[in-house]
Structure 1
């Protein structure tokens, strides 16, 4: 079950953390994986780890916020290697300037734009680049990695991030309905607190917050990778337009 042999996947932001976990999991199940990252060296590192394990992967660095670059790189890859059957929209967070919790009244309009650019419009850019081909072939799996911040309010300054992630959730839901008859499924994963060590960051406030998670730990890249494998598989063809909360039980839905 859940074999992905003969499928080709694009995973954005896959040079580290959750993205790497997703790319590795898809490759392990037989998919050819295009590893995207804004930093070419990070993409190459993920490709090396996949190929060393016997999988097939290619580095495909570009900035998801650059619509022209996204379209060009996707077209070139599909001509050179294979058309995409699977898209995982994982790239996100705070954009090039990083993510520092700030309450809305202390933000500037420039901050509003960068959060939307990467977390919402980046999703639209990559989706648009692969969607026509998927519809023409009457098969596609689109998975958007969002956040619980797009569903549940919080008091500690993540309104811009939450707004953009909430937009990505709503976009994916409508996308699913528009393209269901063309053999496309589109679903969202709303992630809870993830282990910062997976992205090479030191322990932060999330470590203390993890004590309140029912299962007793932070999320790991492999948790997300396993769910993406399922949603990308033939066995999940009747699941679309859904938002799955992966959060260790905090909160339940």
Structure 2
């Protein structure tokens, strides 16, 4: 029996892949037969470290530094990738949070912020996926194949205080993904979202050290543990593989039961 999760030498492009969930996704792809993985991160040293891990796992790798909110930077990264590998078959828009230049002002109540403080979250979480999909879609259309996975958050699906602009960016990406799926399906391209809740990453690890706080937070979850990067990467692998060939336009929660989907 063939392995439906095998990626058959395909080329993947993963944004925000220098650490955490993005890194694990990239490694999952290499471990399941991807031919090449492009590692995008705004810090080149992180991207290069993950690229070395990808190559050790037996796949080709390209580390590219760049800010996904900058369309020119994205276009350059995609052009480099296509020049080196010939195609981009799988795209994962994983880059998130407030981008490379967060400020203390971004943590103020929404009604005390100015639009300048919104730009980091909206630039990374909404314009980032728009920019990368805009750059990659023509190559996927020409190739007649593609898997697009956009990472969003249950902050957008459920609503959380103090995360208004972050939630807006993620919710916008979910709507964008549904429309994109409807437009690209005839070209053999699927587009889906994976929605995460509290997941243990280098960014959240410090907060996870407070056992009492974690226990209180997990009381809202059906499965009472934080998510791990493998939980996210497993779902993304499925959506990137032939196992999901009849799944498109969907938002799939990977959240321990924090919220439910109809």
TM-score range, shorter chain: over 0.9
Instruction: Confirm or deny that 1:4 pairs with 2:13.
Output: no
Map of 2:46 onto structure 1: 42
Contact 1:123 1:144 in 2 (8 A): yes
- Classify 1:102/1:193 alpha carbon distance in 2 versus 1 (closer, same or farther; 3 Å): farther
| Aligned-pair Cα RMSD in Å | 1.7
What's the CA shift for 1:200? 7.2
1:115 to 2:121 alignment: yes
Cα deviations across residues 73-114 of structure 1 (Å, max 9, x unaligned)? 211221122310000000011122338644311222111222
Report what 2:233 is aligned to.
225
Of residues 91, 94, 104, the one that matches 2:95 is: 91
Q: CA deviation at 1:117?
A: 0.8
Shifted more, 44-53 versus 130-139: the winner is: 44-53
Q: Is residue 190–residue 245 contact of structure 2 (8 Å, CA) maintained in 1?
A: yes
CA contact (8 A) 1:35 1:43 kept: yes
Residue number in structure 1 paired with 2:221: 213
Determine if the alignment matches structure 1 residue 237 to structure 2 residue 245: yes
**1:195 matched residue in structure 2:** 200
Aligned twin of 2:26 = 23
Cα distance in 2 for residues equivalent to 1:96 and 1:57: 23
Match of 1:160 among 156, 161, 165: 165
SS at match of 2:259: coil
Q: What residue in structure 1 maps to residue 156 of structure 2?
A: 150
Could you tell me whether the CA contact under 8 Å between 2:221 and 2:258 is conserved in 1?
yes
Task: Show structure 2 runs of 5+ residues with no match.
Answer: none
Question: Secondary structure in 2 aligned to 1:248?
Answer: coil
For 1:103 and 1:220, locate their aligned partners in 2 and report how far apart those are by CA, in whole Å. 29
The CA distance in 2 between the partners of 1:19 and 1:239, in whole Å, is 22
What is the distance in 1 between the residues matched to 2:206 and 2:53? Answer: 22
1:57 positional shift? 2.0
Which of the residues 51, 55, 61 maps onto 2:55? 51
Query: 2:67 touches 2:100 (CA, 8 Å); kept in 1?
Result: no
CA contact (8 A) 1:102 1:158 kept: no
Q: State the partner residue of 1:186.
A: 191
Q: Is the Cα contact below 8 Å between 1:103 and 1:159 reproduced in 2?
A: no
Equivalence for 2:260: 252
1:147-193 deviation digits (Å, cap 9, x = unpaired) = 011111222x0011001110011001100001111111000011111
Whether the 8 Å CA contact 1:211–1:217 is kept in 2: the answer is no
Q: TM-score if structure 1 supplies the norm length?
A: 0.94
Shift of 1:56: 2.8
Q: Is the 8 A contact 2:152 2:194 kept in 1?
A: yes
